[in-house]
Amino acid sequence: MKIERAELREVPLRLKEYFEISSGGMQDRRILLLTLRGEGLEGWGECVVGESPAYSYETTETGWHVLTAFILPAIVGREAAGPEDVLAPVRWIRGHRMAKAAVEMAAWDLAARLDGVSLSKKLGGTRSSVPVGVSVGLQKTDEALHEKVAGFVAQGYARIKIKIKPGRDVDMLAAVRERFPDLPMMADANSAYTLADVDRLKELDALDLMMIEQPLSYDDFLHHARLQEQLRTPVCLDESIESEGDLELALELGSCRIVNIKPGRVGGHGTSRRIHDVMRARGLPVWCGGMLESGVGRAHNVALASLPGFTLPGDISASSRYWERDLVKPEFEVSEGEMSVPTGVGIGVQPDLELIDSLTVRRAQFG
């Protein structure tokens, strides 16, 4: 496949509601959309960088900079053997996986379109719908949290993930468990704890959580292993797993029993699939995380989550959970805890060009 042209745009999009995690909050997203043109067709990707360097060191500005100054000029005009080979000229760039992933994923969409198949099929997906959950941000009061959870339960989500931080953890979750005794429920700490909090974290074992996600620092594989040893609740790693090497280390040490795969975090669909394969071979579950994406990124996540090892519900919620109006048609919907995997070619949903054009505040073109 030859990449003849690339276009990066910034599209501001306001979340319906403020979303707070242990490291801070967000409401006004700056969505970066990438299109790659080749052989008369166009592939779409989304660079899932956050607005601030909290979840990752990458931000909207570093994503824009690394893509426009280094990656896009190097990959345009070149013949590539396939989606992963598109990044061959920029292997020398250290890190910046979200920036690289945007290109790799747009190239997968393009490759699927060139083959005339859905992205799900191109990636090796085996499911026509995927189980989905929802991630609930930190709320000011327990009452507000219970109301949110009840609303999402009514919408049929297959599991509820609740953000926690020191001081808003065991008691808060125990109250939710009391009100919803059978609810498939988990917690995500986004690195808010240290191993010194082990006694507090052990109290979570009584709450029958599916898992606790990323309790400790992103770079603390050893202490995650020490913690997992003492917890009955499975530890799931998110921020820690940026590569296959990270997964190997985590499995060797026993740092987790579950992995949240976000294709942006690990550099694209290729590495996501390999992480999926390693986990599956060991009989360990994975699920697809989210980064508050627009419908473009969501379409990629749904396609990835249709692979057979994604056995747990993902953070792939309905478009209406995030946006007044999504950037794709049709919007993503949830019914009875499942989301349909689009069957059309490529990502299988149409980016709403008129809407995207009207919202775009910054644009860079190559080729």
CA distance 342 to 25: 31
CA distance 215 to 255: 11
Q: What is the nearest approach in angstroms of Mg ion to the Cβ of residue 289? A: 6
Q: Which of 176, 291, 299, 318 binds ligand OSB (CB under 6 A)?
A: 291
Tokens of 365: 């073109």
**Paired residues of 364 in beta bridges:** 8
- The closest alpha carbon to 297, from 263, 260, 333, belongs to 263
| CB nearer to ligand OSB: pick between 55 and 366 | 55
Stretch of residues binding ligand OSB (CB under 6 A), selected from 78-86, 123-131, 171-179, 283-291: 283-291
Q: Which of 43, 264, 267, 290 binds ligand OSB (CB under 6 A)?
A: 290
| CB nearer to ligand OSB: pick between 212 and 292 | 292
Tokens of 36: 């790659």
Phi, psi of 328 (to 5 degrees): -125, 160
**Paired residues of 24 in beta bridges:** 21
- Does position 292 bind ligand OSB by CB under 6 A? yes
Residue nearest ligand OSB, CB atom distance? 290
Q: Are 130 and 341 in contact (CB under 8 A)?
A: yes
Q: Which of 6, 13, 55, 300 binds ligand OSB (CB under 6 A)?
A: 55
Q: Which of 16, 163, 165, 329 is catalytic?
A: 163
Stretch of residues binding ligand OSB (CB under 6 A), selected from 247-255, 273-281, 284-292, 352-360: 284-292
Q: Are 130 and 316 in contact (CB under 8 A)?
A: yes
CA distance 74 to 88: 9
Q: Going residue by residue from 189 to 228, which x/- string records binding to ligand OSB, judged by CB under 6 A?
A: -x--------------------------------------
CA distance 216 to 198: 10
Q: What is the nearest approach in angstroms of ligand OSB to the Cβ of residue 347? A: 17
CA distance 161 to 157: 10
Q: What is the nearest approach in angstroms of Mg ion to the Cβ of residue 301? A: 14
163 is catalytic: yes
Q: What is the nearest approach in angstroms of Mg ion to the Cβ of residue 238? A: 4
CA distances from 72 to 43, 63, 97, 128 (A): 14, 11, 14, 34
Q: What is the nearest approach in angstroms of ligand OSB to the Cβ of residue 45? A: 16
CA distance 328 to 258: 31
Q: Which of 84, 188, 220, 352 binds ligand OSB (CB under 6 A)?
A: 188
Q: Are 85 and 58 in contact (CB under 8 A)?
A: no
16 is catalytic: no
- Does position 238 bind ligand OSB by CB under 6 A? yes
Q: Which amino acid is at 116?
A: G
Which residues contact Mg ion by CB under 5 A?
188, 213, 238
Buried-exposed string 194-227: b where 16+ CB fall within 10 A, e elsewhere: ebebbeebeebeebebbbbbbbbbbebbebbbbb
| CB nearer to Mg ion: pick between 213 and 242 | 213
Q: How many residues does the chain have?
A: 367
Q: Please work out the total of residues on this chain that contact ligand OSB, with binding judged by CB under 6 A.
A: 11
Q: Are 6 and 354 in contact (CB under 8 A)?
A: no
275, interface contact from ligand OSB, Mg ion, none, CB < 5-8 Å by kind: none
Residue listed under structure tokens 């049709």: 330
C-beta neighbour count of 249 within 10 angstroms = 16
Q: Which of 2, 16, 262, 329 is catalytic?
A: 262
315, interface contact from Mg ion, ligand OSB, none, CB < 5-8 Å by kind: ligand OSB
| CB nearer to Mg ion: pick between 286 and 345 | 286
Stretch of residues binding ligand OSB (CB under 6 A), selected from 28-36, 247-255, 288-296, 352-360: 288-296
The footprint of ligand OSB (CB under 6 A) covers 55, 135, 188, 190, 238, 289-292, 315, 317
Residues taking part in catalysis: 163, 262
